[in-house]
Protein backbone atom coordinates (compact mmCIF):
# COMPACT_ATOMS: atom_id res chain seq x y z
CA UNK A 1 0.00 0.00 0.00
CA UNK A 2 1.32 3.41 -0.97
CA UNK A 3 0.91 6.51 1.12
CA UNK A 4 -2.15 8.63 0.37
CA UNK A 5 -1.61 11.78 -1.69
CA UNK A 6 -3.60 13.79 0.84
CA UNK A 7 -0.83 13.11 3.37
CA UNK A 8 2.03 13.73 0.95
CA UNK A 9 2.23 10.46 -0.98
CA UNK A 10 2.41 9.99 -4.74
CA UNK A 11 -1.04 10.49 -6.34
CA UNK A 12 -2.60 7.92 -8.63
CA UNK A 13 -2.80 10.49 -11.43
CA UNK A 14 0.32 12.47 -12.21
CA UNK A 15 -0.12 16.24 -11.67
CA UNK A 16 1.39 16.72 -15.13
CA UNK A 17 -1.64 15.06 -16.75
CA UNK A 18 -4.35 17.56 -17.60
CA UNK A 19 -8.03 16.63 -17.53
CA UNK A 20 -10.24 17.72 -20.45
CA UNK A 21 -11.29 21.35 -20.09
CA UNK A 22 -14.67 22.98 -20.71
CA UNK A 23 -15.95 24.63 -22.82
CA UNK A 24 -14.10 23.32 -25.86
CA UNK A 25 -13.26 26.06 -28.39
CA UNK A 26 -13.73 25.20 -32.04
CA UNK A 27 -12.96 26.80 -35.38
CA UNK A 28 -16.55 26.14 -36.39
CA UNK A 29 -17.75 28.34 -33.53
CA UNK A 30 -15.34 31.10 -34.57
CA UNK A 31 -16.58 30.83 -38.15
CA UNK A 32 -20.26 31.10 -37.20
CA UNK A 33 -19.70 33.96 -34.75
CA UNK A 34 -17.78 35.87 -37.41
CA UNK A 35 -20.68 35.38 -39.80
CA UNK A 36 -22.98 36.99 -37.26
CA UNK A 37 -20.60 39.86 -36.54
CA UNK A 38 -20.24 40.63 -40.24
CA UNK A 39 -23.97 40.34 -40.87
CA UNK A 40 -24.85 43.16 -38.48
CA UNK A 41 -27.76 41.04 -37.21
CA UNK A 42 -26.68 40.59 -33.59
CA UNK A 43 -30.01 40.62 -31.79
CA UNK A 44 -32.75 38.00 -31.59
CA UNK A 45 -34.77 36.31 -34.30
CA UNK A 46 -31.99 35.84 -36.85
CA UNK A 47 -31.23 32.79 -38.99
CA UNK A 48 -28.75 31.27 -36.53
CA UNK A 49 -31.30 31.32 -33.72
CA UNK A 50 -33.92 29.68 -35.94
CA UNK A 51 -31.41 27.02 -37.05
CA UNK A 52 -30.35 26.32 -33.47
CA UNK A 53 -33.97 26.07 -32.24
CA UNK A 54 -34.76 23.55 -34.96
CA UNK A 55 -31.57 21.58 -34.32
CA UNK A 56 -32.11 21.38 -30.57
CA UNK A 57 -35.75 20.39 -30.96
CA UNK A 58 -34.74 17.57 -33.31
CA UNK A 59 -31.88 16.52 -31.01
CA UNK A 60 -34.29 16.37 -28.08
CA UNK A 61 -37.17 14.77 -29.96
CA UNK A 62 -39.55 17.64 -29.20
CA UNK A 63 -41.74 19.55 -31.64
CA UNK A 64 -40.81 23.07 -30.57
CA UNK A 65 -37.84 24.85 -29.04
CA UNK A 66 -38.01 28.45 -27.81
CA UNK A 67 -34.61 29.90 -26.75
CA UNK A 68 -34.63 32.21 -23.73
CA UNK A 69 -32.23 34.32 -21.67
CA UNK A 70 -31.19 31.73 -19.06
CA UNK A 71 -32.26 28.59 -17.23
CA UNK A 72 -34.03 30.42 -14.40
CA UNK A 73 -36.11 32.37 -16.91
CA UNK A 74 -36.84 29.12 -18.74
CA UNK A 75 -38.52 27.73 -15.61
CA UNK A 76 -40.34 30.99 -14.89
CA UNK A 77 -41.73 31.24 -18.42
CA UNK A 78 -42.67 27.56 -18.36
CA UNK A 79 -44.74 28.24 -15.23
CA UNK A 80 -46.38 31.29 -16.78
CA UNK A 81 -47.04 29.43 -20.04
CA UNK A 82 -49.09 26.79 -18.20
CA UNK A 83 -50.87 29.57 -16.25
CA UNK A 84 -49.31 29.15 -12.82
CA UNK A 85 -49.63 32.30 -10.72
CA UNK A 86 -50.47 33.83 -7.38
CA UNK A 87 -50.93 31.38 -4.48
CA UNK A 88 -50.82 28.27 -6.69
CA UNK A 89 -48.80 25.49 -5.09
CA UNK A 90 -46.01 23.93 -7.12
CA UNK A 91 -44.27 20.77 -5.93
CA UNK A 92 -40.49 21.20 -6.14
CA UNK A 93 -37.72 18.75 -5.20
CA UNK A 94 -35.82 19.79 -2.10
CA UNK A 95 -32.57 18.88 -3.83
CA UNK A 96 -32.05 21.18 -6.82
CA UNK A 97 -30.42 24.47 -7.72
CA UNK A 98 -32.22 27.28 -5.89
CA UNK A 99 -33.53 28.79 -9.14
CA UNK A 100 -36.04 25.95 -9.51
CA UNK A 101 -37.90 27.15 -6.43
CA UNK A 102 -37.08 30.84 -6.91
CA UNK A 103 -38.82 30.82 -10.29
CA UNK A 104 -42.01 29.78 -8.50
CA UNK A 105 -42.01 32.68 -6.07
CA UNK A 106 -41.14 35.02 -8.94
CA UNK A 107 -44.59 34.21 -10.37
CA UNK A 108 -46.14 34.51 -6.87
CA UNK A 109 -46.68 30.77 -6.55
CA UNK A 110 -45.81 28.71 -3.46
CA UNK A 111 -43.01 26.13 -3.80
CA UNK A 112 -43.82 23.00 -1.82
CA UNK A 113 -40.50 21.30 -1.10
CA UNK A 114 -40.57 17.50 -1.11
CA UNK A 115 -37.86 15.00 -0.35
CA UNK A 116 -35.92 12.97 -2.87
CA UNK A 117 -35.49 9.35 -3.83
CA UNK A 118 -32.28 8.21 -2.06
CA UNK A 119 -31.23 6.17 -5.09
CA UNK A 120 -31.48 8.94 -7.70
CA UNK A 121 -31.50 12.23 -5.72
CA UNK A 122 -34.50 13.18 -7.88
CA UNK A 123 -38.00 13.98 -6.66
CA UNK A 124 -39.70 11.05 -4.99
CA UNK A 125 -43.01 10.23 -6.69
CA UNK A 126 -44.68 8.98 -3.50
CA UNK A 127 -43.55 12.08 -1.62
CA UNK A 128 -44.86 14.29 -4.40
CA UNK A 129 -48.26 12.62 -4.29
CA UNK A 130 -48.44 12.98 -0.50
CA UNK A 131 -47.79 16.74 -0.88
CA UNK A 132 -50.73 17.36 -3.24
CA UNK A 133 -53.46 19.64 -1.88
CA UNK A 134 -56.47 21.37 -3.50
CA UNK A 135 -54.13 24.29 -4.29
CA UNK A 136 -51.55 22.21 -6.14
CA UNK A 137 -51.34 23.13 -9.81
CA UNK A 138 -47.99 21.75 -11.03
CA UNK A 139 -45.00 19.53 -10.35
CA UNK A 140 -41.45 20.47 -11.29
CA UNK A 141 -39.16 17.50 -11.86
CA UNK A 142 -35.39 18.10 -11.74
CA UNK A 143 -33.31 15.40 -13.40
CA UNK A 144 -30.11 15.64 -11.39
CA UNK A 145 -26.46 14.53 -11.27
CA UNK A 146 -26.48 11.98 -14.06
CA UNK A 147 -29.76 10.43 -12.92
CA UNK A 148 -33.38 10.79 -13.91
CA UNK A 149 -36.64 10.88 -11.99
CA UNK A 150 -39.17 8.13 -12.60
CA UNK A 151 -40.74 9.40 -15.81
CA UNK A 152 -43.28 6.61 -15.89
CA UNK A 153 -44.69 7.34 -12.44
CA UNK A 154 -44.52 11.15 -12.41
CA UNK A 155 -46.39 11.87 -15.67
CA UNK A 156 -49.05 9.37 -14.57
CA UNK A 157 -49.27 11.14 -11.22
CA UNK A 158 -49.66 14.53 -12.91
CA UNK A 159 -52.39 13.25 -15.24
CA UNK A 160 -54.25 11.52 -12.41
CA UNK A 161 -54.46 14.75 -10.41
CA UNK A 162 -54.87 17.13 -13.33
CA UNK A 163 -51.49 18.82 -12.73
CA UNK A 164 -49.02 20.40 -15.11
CA UNK A 165 -45.60 18.76 -15.32
CA UNK A 166 -42.49 20.86 -15.91
CA UNK A 167 -39.06 19.30 -16.38
CA UNK A 168 -35.97 21.11 -15.14
CA UNK A 169 -33.36 19.64 -17.46
CA UNK A 170 -30.40 21.89 -16.70
CA UNK A 171 -28.28 18.76 -16.11
CA UNK A 172 -29.70 16.62 -18.87
CA UNK A 173 -29.17 17.85 -22.45
CA UNK A 174 -29.57 14.68 -24.50
CA UNK A 175 -30.93 12.22 -21.92
CA UNK A 176 -33.63 9.86 -23.16
CA UNK A 177 -36.39 7.87 -21.43
CA UNK A 178 -37.74 4.99 -23.53
CA UNK A 179 -36.07 6.64 -26.53
CA UNK A 180 -37.78 10.01 -25.96
CA UNK A 181 -35.74 13.06 -25.02
CA UNK A 182 -36.09 14.81 -21.68
CA UNK A 183 -37.80 18.17 -21.86
CA UNK A 184 -40.55 16.70 -24.00
CA UNK A 185 -41.90 14.22 -21.46
CA UNK A 186 -44.07 16.75 -19.62
CA UNK A 187 -45.83 19.96 -20.61
CA UNK A 188 -42.70 22.13 -20.85
CA UNK A 189 -38.99 21.39 -20.46
CA UNK A 190 -36.50 24.01 -19.26
CA UNK A 191 -32.75 23.93 -19.93
CA UNK A 192 -29.83 26.11 -18.85
CA UNK A 193 -27.04 27.04 -21.28
CA UNK A 194 -24.80 28.60 -18.61
CA UNK A 195 -21.02 28.25 -18.99
CA UNK A 196 -20.60 24.99 -17.08
CA UNK A 197 -23.44 23.17 -18.86
CA UNK A 198 -22.80 20.50 -21.51
CA UNK A 199 -24.29 22.84 -24.11
CA UNK A 200 -23.34 26.44 -23.44
CA UNK A 201 -23.42 29.97 -24.78
CA UNK A 202 -21.95 31.43 -21.60
CA UNK A 203 -25.46 32.31 -20.46
CA UNK A 204 -28.77 31.33 -21.99
CA UNK A 205 -31.57 28.82 -21.83
CA UNK A 206 -34.20 27.01 -23.86
CA UNK A 207 -37.72 25.74 -23.40
CA UNK A 208 -39.16 22.70 -25.15
CA UNK A 209 -42.78 21.71 -25.68
CA UNK A 210 -44.87 19.50 -27.91
CA UNK A 211 -47.85 21.86 -27.70
CA UNK A 212 -48.51 24.42 -30.46
CA UNK A 213 -50.45 26.60 -28.02
CA UNK A 214 -47.73 26.54 -25.36
CA UNK A 215 -45.05 27.26 -27.95
CA UNK A 216 -46.88 30.40 -29.05
CA UNK A 217 -47.28 31.51 -25.45
CA UNK A 218 -43.61 30.85 -24.66
CA UNK A 219 -42.59 32.87 -27.71
CA UNK A 220 -44.71 35.82 -26.59
CA UNK A 221 -43.56 35.59 -22.98
CA UNK A 222 -39.90 35.79 -23.95
CA UNK A 223 -40.45 38.51 -26.59
CA UNK A 224 -42.06 41.42 -24.69
CA UNK A 225 -45.51 39.89 -25.17
CA UNK A 226 -45.47 40.13 -28.97
CA UNK A 227 -47.63 37.54 -30.74
CA UNK A 228 -45.93 34.60 -32.42
CA UNK A 229 -47.84 35.35 -35.62
CA UNK A 230 -50.81 37.40 -36.73
CA UNK A 231 -53.85 36.25 -34.82
CA UNK A 232 -51.84 34.69 -31.97
CA UNK A 233 -52.65 35.98 -28.48
CA UNK A 234 -50.51 38.65 -26.84
CA UNK A 235 -49.50 38.63 -23.19
CA UNK A 236 -47.93 40.99 -20.67
CA UNK A 237 -44.22 40.19 -20.48
CA UNK A 238 -40.65 41.43 -20.90
CA UNK A 239 -37.47 40.77 -22.84
CA UNK A 240 -36.08 37.30 -22.17
CA UNK A 241 -34.46 36.66 -25.56
CA UNK A 242 -31.04 35.37 -26.58
CA UNK A 243 -28.85 36.93 -29.28
CA UNK A 244 -27.59 35.75 -32.64
CA UNK A 245 -24.06 35.61 -31.20
CA UNK A 246 -25.20 33.13 -28.55
CA UNK A 247 -27.10 31.14 -31.16
CA UNK A 248 -23.96 30.88 -33.30
CA UNK A 249 -21.98 29.39 -30.41
CA UNK A 250 -24.78 26.91 -29.72
CA UNK A 251 -25.27 25.93 -33.34
CA UNK A 252 -21.57 25.08 -33.65
CA UNK A 253 -21.77 22.76 -30.63
CA UNK A 254 -24.83 20.94 -31.94
CA UNK A 255 -22.64 19.30 -34.58
CA UNK A 256 -20.81 17.31 -31.88
CA UNK A 257 -23.51 16.99 -29.21
CA UNK A 258 -24.45 13.37 -29.91
CA UNK A 259 -20.83 12.24 -29.83
CA UNK A 260 -20.07 14.06 -26.57
CA UNK A 261 -23.21 12.89 -24.79
CA UNK A 262 -22.51 9.30 -25.85
CA UNK A 263 -18.86 9.54 -24.80
CA UNK A 264 -19.76 10.79 -21.32
CA UNK A 265 -22.46 8.14 -20.99
CA UNK A 266 -20.14 5.33 -22.06
CA UNK A 267 -17.39 6.43 -19.70
CA UNK A 268 -19.82 6.91 -16.81
CA UNK A 269 -21.26 3.42 -17.22
CA UNK A 270 -17.74 1.96 -17.45
CA UNK A 271 -16.64 3.80 -14.29
CA UNK A 272 -19.81 2.89 -12.40
CA UNK A 273 -19.17 -0.80 -13.06
CA UNK A 274 -15.75 -0.49 -11.41
CA UNK A 275 -16.92 1.66 -8.51
CA UNK A 276 -19.77 -0.74 -7.81
CA UNK A 277 -17.19 -3.41 -6.94
CA UNK A 278 -15.68 -1.31 -4.13
CA UNK A 279 -17.18 -1.66 -0.62
CA UNK A 280 -19.27 1.29 0.50
CA UNK A 281 -19.49 2.88 -2.96
CA UNK A 282 -22.94 2.90 -4.58
CA UNK A 283 -23.53 4.28 -8.08
CA UNK A 284 -26.71 6.29 -8.67
CA UNK A 285 -29.69 4.26 -9.82
CA UNK A 286 -30.12 4.03 -13.57
CA UNK A 287 -33.65 3.05 -14.54
CA UNK A 288 -33.90 0.42 -17.26
CA UNK A 289 -36.13 2.86 -19.18
CA UNK A 290 -33.19 5.25 -19.65
CA UNK A 291 -31.90 4.77 -23.19
CA UNK A 292 -29.28 7.53 -22.97
CA UNK A 293 -28.00 9.43 -19.97
CA UNK A 294 -26.41 12.86 -20.18
CA UNK A 295 -24.05 13.97 -17.42
CA UNK A 296 -23.63 17.50 -16.11
CA UNK A 297 -22.13 15.97 -12.99
CA UNK A 298 -21.12 12.42 -12.20
CA UNK A 299 -22.23 11.35 -8.73
CA UNK A 300 -22.07 8.33 -6.49
CA UNK A 301 -22.92 7.57 -2.87
CA UNK A 302 -20.41 6.92 -0.09
CA UNK A 303 -21.26 4.80 2.95
CA UNK A 304 -19.26 5.82 6.02
CA UNK A 305 -20.31 2.64 7.82
CA UNK A 306 -18.47 0.52 5.25
CA UNK A 307 -15.35 2.67 5.60
CA UNK A 308 -14.84 2.20 9.35
CA UNK A 309 -16.64 5.44 10.17
CA UNK A 310 -14.60 7.71 7.89
CA UNK A 311 -16.68 10.73 6.87
CA UNK A 312 -17.50 11.59 3.27
CA UNK A 313 -15.76 14.98 3.51
CA UNK A 314 -12.44 13.27 4.25
CA UNK A 315 -13.04 10.83 1.40
CA UNK A 316 -13.79 13.65 -1.06
CA UNK A 317 -10.61 15.46 -0.07
CA UNK A 318 -8.56 12.30 -0.51
CA UNK A 319 -10.09 11.53 -3.90
CA UNK A 320 -9.37 15.05 -5.11
CA UNK A 321 -5.74 14.73 -4.02
CA UNK A 322 -5.31 11.40 -5.82
CA UNK A 323 -6.90 12.48 -9.10
CA UNK A 324 -6.57 16.25 -9.38
CA UNK A 325 -10.35 16.50 -9.77
CA UNK A 326 -12.61 18.91 -7.94
CA UNK A 327 -14.77 16.65 -5.78
CA UNK A 328 -17.84 18.18 -4.14
CA UNK A 329 -21.18 17.41 -2.53
CA UNK A 330 -24.72 18.13 -3.72
CA UNK A 331 -26.49 21.46 -3.69
CA UNK A 332 -27.59 22.55 -0.23
CA UNK A 333 -31.10 21.30 0.62
CA UNK A 334 -33.51 24.11 -0.17
CA UNK A 335 -34.92 24.24 3.34
CA UNK A 336 -31.49 25.44 4.56
CA UNK A 337 -29.86 26.90 1.46
CA UNK A 338 -27.74 30.06 1.67
CA UNK A 339 -28.88 31.18 -1.80
CA UNK A 340 -32.57 30.41 -1.42
CA UNK A 341 -33.81 33.13 0.92
CA UNK A 342 -37.31 34.29 -0.13
CA UNK A 343 -37.70 36.44 2.97
CA UNK A 344 -34.85 38.73 1.91
CA UNK A 345 -37.06 40.31 -0.81
CA UNK A 346 -39.86 42.59 0.28
CA UNK A 347 -41.68 42.14 -3.02
CA UNK A 348 -42.54 38.58 -1.98
CA UNK A 349 -44.48 39.76 1.07
CA UNK A 350 -47.87 39.69 -0.65
CA UNK A 351 -49.57 39.05 2.69
CA UNK A 352 -48.72 37.32 5.95
CA UNK A 353 -50.19 33.98 4.87
CA UNK A 354 -48.10 33.93 1.70
CA UNK A 355 -45.02 35.07 3.63
CA UNK A 356 -45.33 32.08 5.94
CA UNK A 357 -46.06 29.72 3.06
CA UNK A 358 -42.81 30.53 1.22
CA UNK A 359 -40.62 30.07 4.30
CA UNK A 360 -38.40 27.14 3.23
CA UNK A 361 -37.50 26.22 6.81
CA UNK A 362 -41.01 24.84 7.38
CA UNK A 363 -40.18 21.77 5.28
CA UNK A 364 -38.35 18.66 6.50
CA UNK A 365 -36.00 17.04 3.97
CA UNK A 366 -34.06 14.27 5.73
CA UNK A 367 -32.97 12.44 2.58
CA UNK A 368 -31.74 15.68 1.01
CA UNK A 369 -29.82 16.46 4.18
CA UNK A 370 -28.25 13.01 4.35
CA UNK A 371 -27.14 13.24 0.72
CA UNK A 372 -25.62 16.68 1.24
CA UNK A 373 -23.93 16.05 4.58
CA UNK A 374 -23.13 12.35 4.70
CA UNK A 375 -22.93 10.53 1.38
CA UNK A 376 -22.80 12.44 -1.93
CA UNK A 377 -19.66 12.53 -4.07
CA UNK A 378 -20.05 14.81 -7.09
CA UNK A 379 -17.59 15.51 -9.94
CA UNK A 380 -18.17 17.88 -12.87
CA UNK A 381 -18.68 16.45 -16.35
CA UNK A 382 -15.46 17.44 -18.24
CA UNK A 383 -13.47 14.46 -16.93
CA UNK A 384 -15.95 12.13 -18.63
CA UNK A 385 -14.63 13.38 -21.98
CA UNK A 386 -11.39 11.54 -21.22
CA UNK A 387 -10.60 7.96 -22.22
CA UNK A 388 -11.02 4.63 -20.46
CA UNK A 389 -7.53 4.90 -18.95
CA UNK A 390 -8.66 8.13 -17.25
CA UNK A 391 -11.68 6.34 -15.80
CA UNK A 392 -9.40 3.54 -14.59
CA UNK A 393 -7.35 6.09 -12.66
CA UNK A 394 -10.43 7.36 -10.84
CA UNK A 395 -11.43 3.81 -9.89
CA UNK A 396 -7.87 2.98 -8.80
CA UNK A 397 -7.82 6.12 -6.66
CA UNK A 398 -10.96 5.01 -4.81
CA UNK A 399 -9.49 1.53 -4.36
CA UNK A 400 -6.24 3.01 -3.03
CA UNK A 401 -8.09 5.18 -0.53
CA UNK A 402 -10.13 2.18 0.63
CA UNK A 403 -6.99 0.09 1.11
CA UNK A 404 -5.46 2.96 3.09
CA UNK A 405 -8.58 3.85 5.05
CA UNK A 406 -6.80 3.45 8.39
CA UNK A 407 -4.37 6.19 7.32
CA UNK A 408 -7.27 8.36 6.20
CA UNK A 409 -9.13 7.78 9.45
CA UNK A 410 -6.06 8.84 11.39
CA UNK A 411 -5.71 12.01 9.28
CA UNK A 412 -9.40 12.81 9.65
Helix or strand run (H / E) with residue 101: helix 99-106
| Same domain? 211 vs 62 | yes
Task: Give domain status of residue 309, yes or no.
Answer: yes
Query: Can you give the CATH number for the domain in which 238 is found?
Result: 3.40.640.10
Pair (44, 127) in one structural domain = yes
Interval 107-123 mean pLDDT? 98
- Say what percent of the chain tops pLDDT 90: 97
State the pLDDT at residue 232.
84
| 363, part of any domain | no
CATH of the domain at 271: 3.90.1150.10
Residues 290 and 200 both lie in one domain:
no
Lowest-confidence pick of 70-74, 179-183, 229-233, 388-392: 229-233
**What is the average per-residue pLDDT within 202-230?**
96
pLDDT at position 231, please?
87
Please report the pLDDT score of residue 411 as a whole number.
86
Task: Give the predicted TM-score (pTM) of the model.
Answer: 0.96
- How confident is the model over 39-89, as pLDDT tens digits? 999 988 899 999 999 999 999 999 999 999 999 999 999 999 999 999 999
Per-residue pLDDT, averaged over 290-309, amounts to: 97
Residue 69 and residue 241 in contact, taking contact as beta carbons nearer than 8 Å? yes
Distances (CA, A) of 249 to 189, 326, 336: 21, 27, 36
Is 84 within a domain?
yes
Q: Are both 205 and 323 inside the same structural domain?
A: no
- Which of the residue ranges 80-89, 230-239, 269-278, 329-338 would you say has the lowest mean pLDDT? 230-239
Q: Quick one: average pLDDT of 19-29?
A: 96
Work out the average pLDDT over 125-130.
97
The pLDDT tens digits of the residues spanning 250-282 come to 999 999 999 999 999 999 999 999 999 999 999
pLDDT tier for residue 111 given thresholds of 50, 70 and 90: very high
Q: Are residues 64 and 83 both part of a single domain? A: yes
Same domain, yes or no: 235 and 310: no
How many Å is the Cα radius of gyration of the chain?
22
- Which domain does 64 fall in, by range? 27-255
Please indicate, yes or no, whether residues 121 and 162 belong to a single structural domain of this protein: yes
pLDDT value, residue 1: 56
Are 233 and 319 within one domain? no
Give the model's confidence band at 234: pLDDT under 50 very low, under 70 low, under 90 confident, else very high.
Answer: confident
Q: Which of 255, 285, 319 corresponds to the end of one domain?
A: 255
Taking Cα atoms as reference points, which of 254, 263, 296 lies closest to residue 169? 296
What's the DSSP call for residue 226?
Answer: -
Q: Is the pLDDT of residue 233 over 90?
A: no
Residue 122 lies in a domain: yes
pLDDT confidence band for 6 (50 / 70 / 90): very high
pLDDT (average), residues 335-354 = 97
Total domain count, the chain: 2
Residues 301 and 228 in one domain: no
Region of poorest pLDDT, from 185-194, 227-236, 345-354 = 227-236
Q: What pLDDT, on a 0 to 100 scale, did the predictor assign at position 412?
A: 83
pLDDT band at 2 (very low <50, low <70, confident <90, very high): confident
Q: Which of 203, 232, 255 is the last residue of a domain?
A: 255
Sheet of 64-68, strands arranged across: 64-68, 205-209, 188-192, 164-168, 136-142, 89-93, 110-114
In a domain, 168, yes or no: yes
Residue 265 and residue 167 in contact, taking contact as beta carbons nearer than 8 Å: no
Q: What pLDDT score was predicted for residue 375?
A: 98
- Is 147 within the bounds of a domain? yes
CA–CA distance, 98 with 337 (Å, rounded to integer)? 8
**Contacts for 116 with CB less than 8 Å, ≥ 6 apart:** 93, 94, 95, 122, 123, 124, 127, 365, 367, 368, 371
Q: Residue 354 domain-assigned?
A: no
Of 229, 255, 281, the one marking the end of a domain is: 255
Give dist(CA 68, CA 224) in Å, integer: 12
| 52, 76: one domain | yes
* Same-domain pairing of 12 and 116: no
Within this chain, do residues 301 and 251 fall inside the same structural domain, yes or no?
A: no
CA count, 13 A, side-chain hemisphere, 296: 25
More confident call, 230 vs 158: 158
Classify residue 35 by burial, with Cβ atoms within 10 Å: 0-12, 13-18, 19+. Answer: middle
Integer CA distances (angstroms), 61 to 148, 151, 174, 183, 185, in order: 17, 16, 9, 9, 10
**Range with lowest mean pLDDT among 139-153, 171-185, 226-240:** 226-240
Residue 249 lies in a domain: yes
Amino acid sequence: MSRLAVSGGEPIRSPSKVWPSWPVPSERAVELVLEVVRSGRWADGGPKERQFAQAFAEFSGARYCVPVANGTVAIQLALEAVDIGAYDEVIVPGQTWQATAAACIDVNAVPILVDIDPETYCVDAAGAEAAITPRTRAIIVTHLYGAMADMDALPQLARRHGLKLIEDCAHQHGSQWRGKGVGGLGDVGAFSLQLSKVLTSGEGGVTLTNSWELMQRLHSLRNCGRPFQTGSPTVQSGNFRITELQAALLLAQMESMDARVDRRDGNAQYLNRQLGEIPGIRPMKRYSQITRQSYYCFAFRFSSADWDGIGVAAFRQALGAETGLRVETTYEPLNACALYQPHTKRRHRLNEEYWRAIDPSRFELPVCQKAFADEAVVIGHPFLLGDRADMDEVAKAVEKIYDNREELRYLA
